Amino acid sequence: MKKIAIIAPCILPVPASKGGAVEELITFIINQNEISPKYAIDLFTIADDSYSQTRYSYTNIIPTNNSAFSANLNRVCDKYYRTVKNKSAKRVFDKEIISIFLNHVHKMSESYYAVIIENQMSLAVELLKEIGYSRDYPIYFHMHNDVDIYRSPEYIRTLTENGVQFISISNYITSQIKKYSPDAVVHLLYNGISLDDYSMTTRVNDGKIRFLYAGRVIPTKGVMELVQAYLKMHEHIAPEYAAKTELEIIGFSDKSTQYEKQIYELAKKNSDCKFLM
């Protein structure tokens, strides 16, 4: 059986016990590989207590701990990179992940068939530096997000120049990669959806104008700004339209975070704000 490595973003755990779109996708991949086994997978992901409840026959979970010091330093660095223009963001944590990965590689008797790095481009660039840009296994970068400070034009060109191939989730992401690196090798792989998990519904037009957000309720997603914008809009539109509007937010956690509590408090100003977990 071919052996591959998947290096998760190491922001949230995989299997996805705490949500996350990329984490959910990786979880689906390893679960499907249990049903139709094709690969022996080494999964490098952030440590989490939930792993003790999970057993896989074809996936070996290799956890890495993000120390409090590293996490705090990364938060400070993130704020810096987001305020300074034309910078490619880095994470201190990337070095720790790569160290664990390379220690594991050195113990292996044979090379990986492929190494797939999920959505954290700074990690891919750092890995290339650590191995001196030379390796005996192909590296693929699975790109889920648009070009930004963590997936910068500079990083895209570096990966292309060093033989890293891209896996894109859409034609748009493919075009963005090609925009900054025309010679990049890009494989298009849609995320897809299991239609068996859903059923068609009919909806009666009740005259409501609904605004919907579905995703993790965290600061970087701009949920607070969404609520603020909705409340401001509500104040400035005609009463007959205001009475028809609703804002629905899906994605709150079972245990409310400080950020979620702040949104709850802000939304109390308008009874048309609805929240779902």
Secondary structure (H, E, C), 157-218 = HHHHHCCCEEEECCHHHHHHHHHHCCCCCEEECCCCCCHHHCCCCCCCCCCCEEEEEECCCC
Same-fold call for 2-188 versus 209-276: yes
- From first to last of its 277 residues, the chain has per-residue pLDDT tens of 999 999 999 988 999 888 888 999 999 999 999 999 999 999 999 988 877 778 899 999 999 887 777 777 777 777 777 777 667 888 888 999 999 999 999 999 999 999 999 999 999 999 999 999 999 999 999 999 998 888 899 999 999 999 999 999 999 999 999 999 999 999 999 987 777 888 888 878 888 888 999 888 888 788 999 999 988 898 888 888 888 888 888 888 777 788 888 988 888 777 777 776 5
Tell me the two tokens of residue 136. 């005996």
pTM: 0.80
Closest CA to 171 of 151, 184, 146, 188: 188
Domain residue ranges of the chain, discontinuous segments joined by +: 2-188, 209-276
How many residues would you count in the chain?
A: 277
Which residues partner with 25 through β-bridges?
none
User: How far is residue 119's CA from residue 151's CA, in Å, rounded to a whole number?
Assistant: 8
> How many whole angstroms separate alpha carbon 273 and alpha carbon 53?
36
DSSP 143: E
Q: In the CATH scheme, what architecture does the domain 209-276 have? A: 3-Layer(aba) Sandwich (3.40)
For the chain, counts of helices (H) and of strands (E) = 9, 10
The topology (CATH level 3) of 2-188 is Rossmann fold (3.40.50)
CA-to-CA distance for 20 and 32, rounded, in angstroms? Answer: 18
Q: Could you tell me if 9 and 27 are in contact, meaning their C-beta atoms sit under 8 angstroms apart?
A: no
